[in-house]
Amino acid sequence: MMTGVVLTLIAIFSFLVLLSFLVFFHELGHYSVARFFGIAVERFSIGFGKPLIRWKSRAGVDWAISRIPLGGYVKFAGDAGAASNPDAEKLAELRAAYDDNPSGPAIDDIFHFRPVWQRSLVVLAGPMANFLLAILLFAGMGATFGAPSFTWVVGDVQDGMPAQAAGIETGDKILEIDGRPITNLNDVIGYISLRSDTPIVISLENDGRTRDVTVTPKRTEVRDGIGGLSEVGRIGIGTGEGSSGGFKDLGFFASVKYGVSELFSNLRATLDYIKRIFTGKEDGKQLGSVVKIATVTGKVAVDTVNVDAPVSAKAKAYAYNMLNLMALISIALGVANLMPLPVLDGGHLVYYGYEAVAGRPLSQKKQEFGFRIGFAVLLTLFVVLTINDIGYLRSIDFS
């Protein structure tokens, strides 16, 4: 077993590498599309605050790694504040300032003077980069490790649980759930977990005969893969004799298809959960902030290297778990950044939508009011999620 200091360093290293790479790829999306359109970029920063490392590229972009590694940003020429979407009066001031400074970038290279469709694509490129990264990671995992494959034959059926009430029996083979074929154990468990108090249809086979049963998962407190307590849907069955699992080898095109399929599967699960929150079917306690990301990343990394196995097997398991976690968090970051809050990419897109319809930007005063409201909502959300995280942390046995 490794010492506590080494395990702590592994946890911190894993979290910082994972988060920094996700932030870099997100901002790279903004940066790449901006440069494709010839928009002048002043700075590309990983992290906030005072730069620790800083250098200037041949294109004149100031690249930086800053002190607080909990985000990042791309600063375009002409950005003067959080709004990053000046109104007509502010645009006139910007134009005058750049006209008086012939040594600066050309006025047509300024982000704010580009057509609204170009600005929208630059903003949208960040979340889309997160989704593209998830596809690449899942596809890479499929090509390297294969795609998870699972056959589920029911073993124990717990007394008093929904499966027993629905007539599910030991030896039943699960074929589909709500029309979705059973191929991945984690996907099946995840699907049931998000269906507390919601009827689902399970297709079964036994002795060559098939039948459908309707089961309503019961909200149950369980420990997840890293030992944290959470309330999720359960039907009360285990795996039995005849169940099998492993990885199916994939070629290049099959791996790409697998990557795309996993992206949309996880997007659908994320959006379903958000919908259930707004309809009052979930309390939102499954959501977490950067604290939970750090906890899950560190715990997964530490648990992986603590497994009693050869170093090569540990390295392979560590790579698989980190890549899978990175893909899942990348999807979550993409969705979060599309929320229609003015401080996020989704909020900018709302402003650009207004500008496209009205033919002019929203007034600076209204934009700034929107940013204040958006910041307040985001801060409140962060506090709520941090409270969720603290409760989750307290339920984990770190010993």
Residue numbers annotated as active site: 27
* Rg over CA atoms, the chain: 25
Dist CA 49 CA 246 (whole Å): 46
- Whose tokens are 């390295």? That residue is 315
Number of residues that this document lists for the chain: 399
SS3 287: coil
Nearest residue to 385 via CA among 277, 300, 284: 284
Question: 88 φ, ψ to 5°?
Answer: -60, -40
Nearest residue to 322 via CA among 4, 2, 16: 16
Question: 158 φ, ψ to 5°?
Answer: -75, 140
Dist CA 357 CA 371 (whole Å): 20
Confirm if 349 and 342 have CB atoms less than 8 A apart.
no
Which amino acid, residue 45?
Answer: S
10 Å Cβ neighbour count for 323? 18
155 forms beta bridges with none
Could you tell me where the DSSP H helices lie in 153-204? 162-166, 185-193
Confirm if 2 and 306 have CB atoms less than 8 A apart.
yes
Which residues make Cβ contacts (< 8 Å) with residue 198, sequence separation at least 6?
216, 217, 233, 281
Confirm if 54 and 63 have CB atoms less than 8 A apart.
yes
Give the start-end residues of each E strand in the chain.
41-56, 62-76, 147-157, 173-177, 180-181, 200-206, 209-215, 218-223, 229-234, 237-239, 244-248
Dist CA 123 CA 117 (whole Å): 10
SS3 281: coil
